[in-house]
A = this chain, B = another copy of it.
Amino acid sequence: MIKKNLWGLHFPMNAHTAFEHPSNILPLVVGIDLGGTQIRVAVLQGSNVRARVSTLTGEDSAPERVLPRMFQTVEQALHEAGVSLDEIAGIGIGAPGPLNGRTGVVFSPPNLAWRNVPLRDIFVQHFNKPIFVENDANAAALGEYMFGAGRGSKEMAYVTISTGIGAGVIADGRILTGIAGTAAELGHMTIDWHGERCNCGNIGCLESISSGTAIARSANKLVAIGKGQALLDFALAHQDHDRQGVNPVHITARTVAHAAEAGITEAQKIIARAAEGLGFGLVNLLHIFNPELVILGGSVTQIGAPLLEPAMQIVRARAMQVPRDSMRLVIAELGADVGLIGAGALNYYHLQQA
């Protein structure tokens, strides 16, 4: 896919090319994308997936259940790729945060029953290979940086908007981690200090305004108070909703987007509010990081212009000139593979730094 400058912003700087490896000279690596639902493993050469295997994380996500399954899935992927452990340079793991990439310890992710698991050391012991652990959003950012829409940049922010809002930042060619590995939680930046409480315990976070969950919540709230009839009718007519527990109809963010497209005013207003929040989030991001590139990924981004155009209008109206003029906004390139490619990229990143 061609890298696109979607919004025609001026881009005056010379990009410092950080990584321009033709994939075929890169060593083979393993990438693991550990999620609450799935363990995905690939044998990769750069962004080239040589084999991939996935398995369910399992309902019992205790480390003593999940770790053996991870080991097994790695063996299986190596087998499918026809590659021995000796032939790979290392194993990169993108795992749910919070975690400390320096120590490889996973603290207590909301979607795994883990607590201070020394993931890196456990893998080193099992495989006797270089092992690199990073939170999933940072790994995805690195994937886009090295092999996706971020190629050739040095200062970039990757923001993925789906159920939640995750992010990873590359500053001067390096992953921004902070002291304990939890930096770049851009989704949990307050933009509305008198707003609603976020799942994280904070108030008025970007995620509580512009995520898919926030869009769906606004819609269902409107229906619940009897003001979303047109939206409800649309959802029922298109059978474009989930059936959930006691709620007869749960309208999804996707339905809201479709309804907005179909001209339903309430839906348009909900998308407009999410877009406005995103705009302020982007302004903050520009003022805080002065990136040359912002890469947007995640399912909510697929709403496209109705979400992104009003957001960029706020950027144009509100951001300071220099950071605004330095920035290009582009859409992520790696799609569903970003987690795997990013996990694999951890190897190249750290082996190059060493």
Chain A positions within 8 Å of B, measured between CB atoms, are: 13, 98, 107, 154-155, 171-172, 174, 176-186, 188-194, 200-204, 276-277, 280, 283-284, 287-292, 317-323, 325-326
Contact = CB atoms under 8 A, between A and B. Distances in A.
A174 B172 CA distance: 9
B284 A190 contact: yes
B180 A13 contact: yes
A287 B155 CA distance: 19
A284 B323 contact: no
A98 B191 CA distance: 24
A193 B277 contact: yes
A171 B154 CA distance: 15
Total copies of this chain within the assembly? 2
A21 to B, nearest CB: 22
A201 B182 CA distance: 31
B193 A191 contact: yes
A173 to B, nearest CB: 10
Nearest to A184: B288
B180 A318 contact: no
A201 to B, nearest CB: 6
Nearest 6 interchain pairs by C-beta: A178-B290, A179-B292, A183-B290, A185-B287, A155-B179, A180-B326
A327 to B, nearest CB: 8
Contacts of A276: 193
24 contacts: A107-B322, A171-B171, A172-B176, A172-B177, A178-B289, A178-B290, A178-B323, A179-B292, A180-B323, A180-B326, A182-B322, A183-B289, A183-B323, A185-B287, A186-B288, A188-B320, A189-B287, A190-B283, A191-B191, A191-B193, A192-B192, A192-B193, A201-B318, A202-B320
Contact of A202 (B155, B192, B201, B283): B283
A309 to B, nearest CB: 18
Contact of A98 (B179, B189, B317, B320): B320
Contacts of A202: 283, 287, 318-320
Contacts of A184: 288
Contact of A322 (B180, B290, B291): B180
Contacts of A326: 178-180, 182
Contacts of A154: 179
Contacts of A193: 191-192, 276-277, 280
B291 A203 contact: no
B13 A188 contact: no
A182 B327 CA distance: 12
Nearest to A281: B190
Could you say which of A178, A185, A191 has the most chain B C-beta atoms within 10 Å of its C-beta? Answer: A178
Contacts of A203: 280, 318
B189 A192 contact: no
